[in-house]
Amino acid sequence: MAVTRTAGIVGGGHTRWGSREATYKDLIQEAGKATFDSVPDMGPEDIEGLFVGSVQPERFAFQTHVAPLVAELLGIDVDAMIARTELACASGQAALRYAWLAIAAGQLDVALVLGVEKMNPPGGHMPEAQASMTNVMDREFDGVNGLNAPPYFAMVAQRHMYEYGTTREQLALVSAKNKRHAAHNEFAQFQDEVTVEEVLESYPLSPPLCLYDCSGITDGAAGLVLMSEEKAREVTDEAAWITGSGQACFASNSVNNLPSMSGWPQATTAAEKAYDQAGVTDPLRELDVAEIHDCFSISEIVEYEDLGWVEKGEGGRFVEDGRSALDGDIAVNPRGGLLGCGHPLGATGVSQALEIYDQFRGDVPAERRVPDPETGLIHNLSGSASVHSVMILRA
């Protein structure tokens, strides 16, 4: 179905991501200020709708009702629409989707989207954060048995290696590529390049996944300003237009009910819907840049396949042949990905969309700049990859 009314990203801001000596509120204010600073002649008084992505401030910051908290901290009088969205690791993209819907449905013209997560507790006491991450999975079937993200994605990696001959080196190539990009991203949590050998020799976390195959426990926030086309054209001629959206979940969430352990057909359904809406008929040729959900190195390889870029089982070769490099078929995760930037759950999708906007304008360091991109994709999985979320953006 065609989009009724077009909306575009016209600005955004970012905090440094990492283990931050900052509260949940500090992160909101830091990202909010950067976001407002990015759009000249626009201030809090222009915002009509506020869309917050955050996963579990209830556990990490002992705070709920977080959307008005953001309004208060940023001085925004909301007079049209306000709420916070949770879809685990895809919460930021979900918030962006609802802001886009509000504009598409003619309900408002100017929206602020803000994603935030404060995961590292003061003093670095990690058991609470680690325990809380087990509730992203089905708590009664999976989380209670200690199945959180690393062992689930390790099983996916094992199964993918078994079925398709994917190698440890191919996984490591994903990490090395994304961390190389992150080394040139001032906001990234991890800014050291690592070699394939260093990935392979890093601490074995959940075999075959080692430490450098995994994203981090991260504090961070990012914001976006989304405007209707009419309004956007008043402030800029460089918007990133949202042209397609897709999400899918196959009546499954706990690991036992997933349709596959080596693939995510839900990603295919979500992507096809988004491609269709955006008029993308050959994604491999038409997509120039993609920010996809590399929470673990294996994820990116499975996504090359299930987003419809290569045949099933060819994902390992895709990275090995440099086809996901900056000068490859599709430049994948030039931001540094989750592996390089870290993964403050609710902020990741917002940061990914901001990266596409920045790449369209060429406003990134030369070392990780994609040559003249016109079409971009953002993708998030969430939970035990039970849900996949895709959006297409055009310059």
Q: Which residues contact 271 (CB under 8 A, 6 or more apart)?
A: 246, 283, 306, 307, 308, 377, 379, 388, 390
Q: Which residues contact 181 (CB under 8 A, 6 or more apart)?
A: 326, 333, 334, 335, 336, 337, 340, 367, 368
> Does residue 343 carry a catalytic annotation?
yes
- For residue 74, CA distances in Å to 34, 67, 322, 393 come to 11, 11, 43, 27
Catalytic residue among 14, 89, 210, 341: 89
Is 171 or 217 the residue whose CB approaches its own copies more closely?
A: 217
CA distance 190 to 383: 23
Mapped onto helix, strand or coil, the DSSP state of residue 184 is coil
CA distance 375 to 377: 7
Is 253 or 297 the residue whose CB approaches its own copies more closely?
A: 253
Catalytic residue among 14, 343, 379, 388: 343
Question: What is the smallest separation between the CB atom of 52 and its own copies, expressed in angstroms?
Answer: 9
Is 52 or 222 the residue whose CB approaches its own copies more closely?
A: 52
Tokens 């290569």 -> residue = 310
Is 71 or 217 the residue whose CB approaches its own copies more closely?
A: 71
Cα of 124 vs its chain's centroid, Å: 24
Element (H, E) at 226: strand 220-228
CA distance 123 to 114: 26
Q: Do the Cβ atoms of 348 and 361 come closer than 8 Å?
A: no
Question: What is the smallest separation between the CB atom of 168 and its own copies, expressed in angstroms?
Answer: 29
Question: What is the smallest separation between the CB atom of 255 and its own copies, expressed in angstroms?
Answer: 11
The helix-helix angle for 66-74 and 24-37 (nearest 10°) equals 50
> Does residue 341 carry a catalytic annotation?
no
CA dihedral for 325, 327, 333, 334, sign (positive or negative): positive
Question: What is the smallest separation between the CB atom of 254 and its own copies, expressed in angstroms?
Answer: 7
Question: What is the smallest separation between the CB atom of 291 and its own copies, expressed in angstroms?
Answer: 19
Is 246 or 263 the residue whose CB approaches its own copies more closely?
A: 246
Question: What is the smallest separation between the CB atom of 51 and its own copies, expressed in angstroms?
Answer: 10
Is 38 or 384 the residue whose CB approaches its own copies more closely?
A: 384
Q: What are phi and psi of 393, to 5 degrees?
A: -125, 150
CA distance 291 to 352: 6
Q: Do the Cβ atoms of 137 and 384 come closer than 8 Å?
A: yes
Q: List the catalytic residues.
A: 89, 343
